[in-house]
A and B are shown apart, each in its own frame.
Chain A
Amino acid sequence: DIVMTQSPSSLAVSAGETVTINCKSSQSLLSSGNQKNYLAWYQQKPGQSPKLLIYLASTRESGVPDRFIGSGSGTDFTLTISSVQAEDLADYYCQQHYSYPTFGAGTKLELK
């Protein structure tokens, strides 16, 4: 298994702040064949299904606001949310698809 470790597990923020969520994989997610990192980020609001935000570590899914930025390579990845808005309060998960998919335990973004 590739183990995905997310931090922090929860984060209290005020509207307008910039937040960073970290995700570390137990082995590299960088494909030597195409130089792509097989890492995705999802947002899940209460009572809803996860929603894809970012794939291949830094590609924003269509329709996702540009305040969501994915970065990183190899084993260390980051989701940055610039100028957090009330609608961004949710759980966030990273997921690798380098081998059979595994998810991080999640980060709960709450209002301070």
Chain B
Amino acid sequence: QVTLKESGPGILQPSQTLSLTCSFSGFSLSTYGMCVGWIRQSSGKGLEWLANIWWNDDKYYNPSLKNRLTISKDTSNNQAFLKITNMDTADTATYYCARDRAFFDYWGQGVMVTVSS
């Protein structure tokens, strides 16, 4: 059974760095072809893909946010991470991690992140 769960700070101030953790089970990011992605959803911009990381540590980023994003993984603990620097109120959203098979077949429950001073 595949499950994913996101965790994060909930609220942070403008200019701070957001650190998110995706803890998953039912598959391994050391398995050939496996990939985990991060997607966010805000009322203003809908669903927006942010980044993904592959079993071989290849990483891909949304070009519009690439300078602010860092994705990484801890294979032994079945976790993936996303950092977003210089957060702004426009980054207020629900952040999801999902298993990426060229489509997102399993999603976490999401973590709401609010950026406010």
Contact = CB atoms under 8 A, between A and B. Distances in A.
Contacts of A95: 47, 103-104
6 contacts: A49-B107, A50-B47, A52-B105, A61-B105, A97-B102, A103-B49
A106 B44 CA distance: 12
Among A49, A51, A103, A105: residue with most chain B CB under 10 A:
A49
Contacts of A38: 102-103
A95 B41 CA distance: 14
Interface residues of B, number: 19
A77 interface: no
Contact of B47 (A1, A52, A93): A93
B23 to A, nearest CB: 15
Interface of A: 1, 38, 40, 42, 49-52, 55-56, 61, 93, 95, 97, 100-106
A103 B49 CA distance: 8
Interface of B: 37, 39, 46-49, 60, 62-63, 96, 101-105, 107-110
A106 B48 CA distance: 12
Contact of B60 (A49, A52, A56, A100): A100
Contacts of B47: 50, 93, 95, 103, 106
B49 A100 contact: yes
Contacts of B96: 49-50
Contacts of A103: 46-49
B58 to A, nearest CB: 13
Contacts of A55: 101-103, 105
Contacts of B62: 100
A102 B63 CA distance: 12
Contacts of B46: 93, 103-106
A108 B104 CA distance: 20
B96 to A, nearest CB: 6
Contact of B107 (A50, A102, A104): A50
